[in-house]
Amino acid sequence: MENRFKQAEVATWIGIVANGLLAIMKGFIGWVSGSRALIADAAHSASDVAGSIAVLAGLRTAKKPPDKDHPYGHGKAENIATIIVAILLIVVGIEIAISSLKVFFGEMPTAPKGIALGAIIISIIVKELLFQYKYRLAKKINSSALLAEAWHHRSDSLSSIAAFVGVLGAILGQHYNYPILIYFDPLAGLIVSIIVIKIGFSLAKESSLIMMEQVLDADKIMPFFKTVTNIQGVKRVDELLARTHGHYIVIDIKVSVDPHISVEEGHLISKEVKKGLIDNHSNIKKVFVHINPYRLESG
């Protein structure tokens, strides 16, 4: 467990440093070159830094062991961090959209300088590498916060591609005297904003479902059913509810046993149910077992 959080924290720190450097580079070159799309992209990278800091705080809270006030653990801290990242994405996306739309109702913009293209190419490469690294690690250690960070990097990579097309179009428009192409730069900024907002809403929705403790669907809990029905002494699984709690799953289960056995024997069966679920499913951390006397209709 400790190694899981260590890997996630290292990945998050790598993201903070990389995004900080990219935000400074893109912001400065965007200002020097006069590219609105690149400045918008710099703001996106800056939001990544803020998001990564929130994720880091969430990871450090999530790894705390259960206590009196949090008997189920602190796993949902990761989901809170995910929602913070999502909100940052949405806010940044709206700001980018407003900035880009203003251009269409003002004076004819000037085309950015060619140096902007070099900065965007570097950004695309770095952000895609960060996405691949964090996406694979998030899937491996089952971290929603790290997965949110990965998609934040991918959104930055996609926005950089849109910015590249916009800047290139604006430069070509000025060079070949096609004024309409100069608007490609702010248009790219608008496309970037749509991408960012969409990803933000998607992440917020997914984490909100976990925060509201939505139970897993029938297909996902079927393996848990099979594990319990194979445990000696279990006559029937009356009810099994599984809910995510951050990176792990909490199970509430009712099983029927022979009504004529002793309380101690029933207790031992419940311990075997808990042990069987935790030993056979690495994503299950907490199991609460209720024992029912076996009848044709158990309740």
Domain boundaries, the chain: 2-211, 218-293
194, 93 contact by CB (below 8 A): yes
Q: Does domain 2-211 have CATH number 1.10.287.180?
A: no
What was the pLDDT predicted at 274? 93
136-143: long-range contacts, CB 8 A cutoff, minimum separation 24: 137/7, 137/8, 137/11, 138/8, 141/4, 141/7, 141/8, 141/247, 142/247, 142/248, 142/283, 143/4, 143/8, 143/59, 143/78, 143/247
How far apart are alpha carbons 49 and 128 in whole angstroms? 16
What was the pLDDT predicted at 165? 78
What was the pLDDT predicted at 2? 54
Between 3.30.70.1350, 3.30.2320.30, 3.40.50.720, 4.10.320.10, what CATH number should domain 218-293 receive? 3.30.70.1350
Q: Which of 244, 241, 245, 238 is nearest to 218 (CA)?
A: 241
Q: Could you list the pLDDT tens digit for every one of the 299 residues in the chain?
A: 557 677 878 888 888 898 889 889 988 888 888 777 677 778 777 777 777 777 777 666 666 666 666 656 656 666 677 777 778 778 877 877 877 777 677 655 566 677 888 888 898 899 899 899 988 988 887 777 777 778 777 877 877 777 787 778 777 877 777 777 767 767 777 877 787 788 778 777 766 665 555 567 788 889 998 999 999 999 999 999 888 766 678 889 999 999 999 999 999 999 999 999 999 987 788 899 999 998 866 44
What was the pLDDT predicted at 298? 45
User: Can you point out the beta strands (E) in the chain?
Assistant: 236-245, 248-257, 284-293
Task: Give the torsion sign (CA, 94, 96, 99, 101).
Answer: negative
What was the pLDDT predicted at 270? 93
Pairing mode, if any, of strands 284-293 and 248-257? parallel
